[in-house]
Structure 1
Amino acid sequence: MVGLHDKTDTWVTGEKEMEKVAVEYFSDLFTTTSLDDFTDILDGIPAVISGTDNAFLTRPASEEEVRAPLFLMNPEKAPGPDGMTALFFRKSWPLIKKDILVY
């Protein structure tokens, strides 16, 4: 690798400088944004669903609601953003279901 562009589009070529650019890029990429940042935006959007509907839509999903579609999917098609296919989730379901359901 010859060099990288940093956030300001400056071309960086030194090994340490490129390392810093890469670490900064991926740190920004994988750092979540606090939901508090969206409060002003959301305050301007009127509510269009009832409290009952909202409670239903925001309730935790049951194990069967997650498992059933997962086991109906083609096991080796359309990997998710993490690169994992349905086959991975099927094979490891007993180990990962608690973590998936908490998410």
Structure 2
Amino acid sequence: MNSQGCYLTEEPEVVNEFIEFFENLLGGQQRSQFLNLTYLRPWARHIISNEEGAELIRPVLRSDVKGAVFDIVEDKAPGPDGYSAAFYKAAWPIIGDEITHAVQVFFHTGKLLKQINATLLTLIPKVGLILWEIIVLYLAVMYFTRSL
């Protein structure tokens, strides 16, 4: 059933209604109704100024992206791609434009490249690969007895 109360039976109609419903639900299109938030003001601890609001929605600049990358401590653990912040800083003249573009697209569209959000997952079995004989021999060589 669509938003007008009509039953849809054809696949293209159902697909279009489905997409339209979730676009409206998730904010894909601007909502037409006005939302009055004045009743929330008494509970707001801080209301941002117009200047702060403008700062939050301004376009992300190349200098913002570079500043964020260069603010990361170089010897922190690498990300899922295996590269540390030191690599990104050293390679910035080569990769800076691409990284900046990806970040700007994200802030403009709200969509993140799948490759950026990739996670490496390593499954480590709890048992089965341990060579107990070698461990027991090593412990014996080091004068550990079975009574320990």
Q: Which has the higher contact order (CA 8 A, sep 6+)?
A: 1
Larger Rg: 2
Bin of the TM-score, shorter chain as denominator length: 0.3 to 0.5
